[in-house]
Amino acid sequence: MSSVYATDAVDNSKKTLVLGTSADFPPYEFHKTIDGKDQIVGFDIEIAKAIAKKMDAELVIEDMGFDSMLPALQSGRVDLVISGMTPTEERRQSIDFSDPYYKARQVVLVRSEDSDKYQTMTDLEGTTIGVQKGSIQEEIALGVKNASLVSLDKIGDIVLQLETKRVDALIVEDTVAKGYLNDKIVLSDAVPMDSESEAAIGVAKGNTELLNVINATLAELKQDDGITKMVEEASFLASGNAPDKDRNIFDIAYEYRHYYAKGIGYTLMLSALGVIFGFLIGLIITLIRMSGMRVLRWIGTAYVEVLRGTPMLVQLMIIHYGLALVFGVNLSPLQSGVITLSINSSAYLAEIFRAGIQGVDKGQMEAARSLGMTRSAALRHIILPQALKTVLPAIGNEFITIIKESSIISVIGMADIMYQANAIRNITYEGLSPYIIAAAIYFILTFMLSKLLGLFERKLSASDKR
């Protein structure tokens, strides 16, 4: 998941500094509602602000999964990464690091009733351990004998897995662990080997210009204990983040209604554009598949088969990240989302159109041709209108599917309903309610659409009965 936050109103005259971070790591970086607005705060963010200030640049924050950091730097999607990242040898192969700015230790979190059971690392052998995907904690867990790993993007989700007994233990940095402790989740006495780790700032390989500014800023901050102060302040901000126990699902729906409203807007826009372009591309593909030329027919069929035979999530990743990595085309989440949805649904629609056209009686084409119509005129005026009418219910179903499937686009930071639900989970630490509310909204949208389509169909069939 990634999202873009400008720290102040965007000032176009200034150059921008794009920061990549995984805002699930209080007090380093985390979501917090301030003045009714979702913001990303933390001491990493304060350091980023200091660097931006030194460069006289506008700071833009991109929130994404921790394991997207390296590719994001390499593809130029972000300028620097501050995410409590440890400068490991392995990472140094692909990016450059600043001087370290913080030191932490690894700890193990368990459910309170299990704290006697897991007292040393050996006790963890054979258990299921939760870690953040792509983190050094993942490496540590790999070293525990016979343990199964659950690696997820966001630490909040791993905490949820611990609470719901899907994992037995969670390895994370001590500073971060504090923010997730409560009466159910406690620190265990087990201490991972090589438990110390530093944090440093990552930049693209060879970007010494930026690296120099970063190191100079860090040196200044360290001189007057600036970083220690930032950590203290951020820890204080993070301490108020525990879930509010007497809040029910309706309170959440009401409190975060503006988030959901914004999400509905994006979901509808994304789906509408996906449907319109999908419809047009689908029609073109159908015509190509009916052409007299064998190569064209073959290309059309290949298009449909490939798009139907690969997952939309994979198509999305290729369009959003692949194009950026290989061709340097950096599409916005909205652009990538619309393109993915359109081409994906165009394949399904092309199949639907083909079925509809094949369903029209052969005699219709023959009659049209014998009246002197060209093949394409007959197609346009006689065949397609009849075909469209019979496949209308199938097209309607496809529209409903698009509304639901568009939720996948949230993983690249499109601020749709699903994305908002995730953001609200990050802010409230509520594991389930934000999803239930999202499900209700999706259901209401698709249900209304299917009623509407039913009405439309009845109108059309009325003309048949005359």
Binding site for ligand ARG (CB under 6 A): 22, 24-25, 28-29, 66, 83-86, 132, 135-136, 155, 173, 197
Nearest to 154 by CA among 405, 438, 434, 427: 427
Smallest gap from Cβ 11 to ligand ARG, in A, equals 27
Cα separation, 76 vs 80, whole angstroms: 9
Instruction: Show the tokens assigned to 445.
Output: 């949208």
Smallest gap from Cβ 18 to ligand ARG, in A, equals 16
Smallest gap from Cβ 416 to ligand ARG, in A, equals 23
**Which lies closer to ligand ARG via its Cβ, residue 63 or residue 416?**
63
Instruction: Show the tokens assigned to 254.
Output: 């009401």
Smallest gap from Cβ 423 to ligand ARG, in A, equals 16
Smallest gap from Cβ 42 to ligand ARG, in A, equals 9
Smallest gap from Cβ 271 to ligand ARG, in A, equals 32
**Which lies closer to ligand ARG via its Cβ, residue 59 or residue 155?**
155
Smallest gap from Cβ 439 to ligand ARG, in A, equals 27
**Which lies closer to ligand ARG via its Cβ, residue 23 or residue 402?**
23
Smallest gap from Cβ 85 to ligand ARG, in A, equals 4
**Which lies closer to ligand ARG via its Cβ, residue 77 or residue 354?**
77
Instruction: Show the tokens assigned to 42.
Output: 């933390």
**Which lies closer to ligand ARG via its Cβ, residue 90 or residue 209?**
90
Nearest to 20 by CA among 75, 71, 85, 79: 79
**Which lies closer to ligand ARG via its Cβ, residue 197 or residue 267?**
197
Instruction: Show the tokens assigned to 225.
Output: 């204990």
**Which lies closer to ligand ARG via its Cβ, residue 127 or residue 132?**
132
- Residue 349 and residue 289 in contact, taking contact as beta carbons nearer than 8 Å: no
Cα separation, 301 vs 311, whole angstroms: 18
**Which lies closer to ligand ARG via its Cβ, residue 75 or residue 83?**
83
Instruction: Show the tokens assigned to 174.
Output: 């001590």
Smallest gap from Cβ 28 to ligand ARG, in A, equals 6
List strands edge to edge, sheet with 95-97.
Answer: 3-6, 58-63, 16-21, 80-81, 202-204, 95-97
**Which lies closer to ligand ARG via its Cβ, residue 71 or residue 322?**
71
Count other C-beta atoms under 10 Å from residue 233's C-beta: 15
Nearest to 359 by CA among 391, 400, 336, 407: 391
